[in-house]
Amino acid sequence: MMTVNSIKNGVVIDHIKAGNAMKLFKYMNLEKTEYRIAMIMNVSSNKKDKKDIIKIENGIDIEYEELVLIDPEITINIIENEKVVKKIKPQLPETVINVIECKNPRCVTSIEKYVDNIFYLSDRENKVYRCKYCDEKHTVGE
């Protein structure tokens, strides 16, 4: 049995799909911060077969909103004095800028590099975004 201590103050990103913790870690540039971080992978879970967890001590200033674009199932727990004071289930934003890159080779963003990559939410239920320029589909989590 592996034991990871609980944190006193900070953030726990829970219910990460197994294997996605590293993606989130990189997206948040956590290697460049000085927070004390625990990344726990392939933990047994009631909801899923396996999940990952990231614990960030004192890391309450990190922007969590866009993480849902990498893993739509995550839960953010804000910890104060070793207690969960807030549970956040991030919602998919209506528009995302320069987070998703359009993969359509016919899209104008493939040649006009100065413009922002803009995706808008076209189907919240199925987590589908579309490129503002060419309507290329991007499904979150796939």
Partner 1 sequence: MLKGRHLIEPMDFTVEELETIFKTADGIIENPEKYSEVCKNKLLATLFYEPSTRTRFSFESAMLRLGGKVIGFPEPNSSSVAKGESIADTIRTIACYADIAVMRHPKEGAPYIASQYSDIPVINAGDGGHQHPTQTLTDLLTIRKYKGNLKNLKIGVCGDLKFGRTVHSLIKAMSRYENTEIYMISPEELKIPDYIKEEVLIKKGVKYHEAKTIEEAAPELDILYMTRVQRERFFNEEDYIRLKDTYILNKEKIKYSKKDMIILHPLPRVNEIAYEIDDDPRACYFQQAKMGMYVRMALIANLLGVL
For binding to partner 1 (CB under 8 A), which residues are involved?
Answer: 104, 106-112, 114-115, 122-123, 131-135, 137
Distance CA(95)–CA(39), nearest Å, equals 29
* CB closer to partner 1 out of 9 and 110: 110
Q: Which residues contact 22 (CB under 8 A, 6 or more apart)?
A: 39, 41
DSSP state of 49: S
Nearest residue to 126 (alpha-carbon basis) of 141, 112, 136: 141
How far apart are CB 141 and partner 1 at their closest, in Å? Answer: 18
Least Å distance, CB 133 to partner 1, is 3
The minimum distance between CB 72 and partner 1, in angstroms, equals: 19
Q: How far apart are CA 136 and CA 84, in angstroms?
A: 39
Name which of 32 and 106 has its Cβ closer to partner 1: 106
Q: Sheet harboring 118-123: ordered strands across?
A: 95-97, 118-123, 128-131, 137-139
Q: Which of residues 33 and 110 has its CB atom nearest to partner 1 in the complex?
A: 110
CB nearer partner 1, residue 55 or residue 132: 132
**Measured from the CB of residue 67, what is the shortest distance to partner 1 in angstroms?**
26
